[in-house]
Amino acid sequence: MRSASGSRADRGSITAEFATALPAVVLVLAGCFGAVQVVGVQVRVTDAAATAARALSRGDSVGRAGALVAGAVPGASLSEERRGEFVCAQVTATGTGMFAGVTLHSRSCALAGGQ
């Protein structure tokens, strides 16, 4: 008669399966957390571009707008472009952690306020 826990030959197989599956689960979770972090940085880059565009449209200097961007996203860079009545700000930053090779961009434009 066979016991409810299985035969002696199967003893420890669940532990072995768990030991092989655990690293894969940890890797998938780390990738998910890293992706959420990159999305958070992208949201901050987008907000920083909008803030910089508004600041530039009010007549603030590129240095002042760049300081606003640096305060929102450390290590980000700002470039300004004028297009007729509009002033556009483009913010570029890199991802973090596992996604350090990812470059994030956002562009925002605002009416140049009569300048």
- Reported as a single tens digit per residue, the pLDDT across 30-85 is 999 988 999 999 999 999 999 999 999 999 999 999 999 999 999 999 999 998 99
- Please state, in angstroms and rounded to a whole number, the distance separating the CA atoms of residues 48 and 19: 44
Which three-class secondary structure state does DSSP give residue 8? helix
Average pLDDT of every residue of the chain: 88
- The strand ranges marked E within 1-115 are 77-83, 86-94, 103-111
State residue 4's pLDDT score. Answer: 56
Name which residue leads in pLDDT, 60 or 11.
60
Contact 87, 109 (CB under 8 A): yes
- Please state, in angstroms and rounded to a whole number, the distance separating the CA atoms of residues 54 and 32: 34
- Residue 114 is encoded by which pair of tokens? 């009569």
Is the pTM higher than 0.85? The answer reads: no
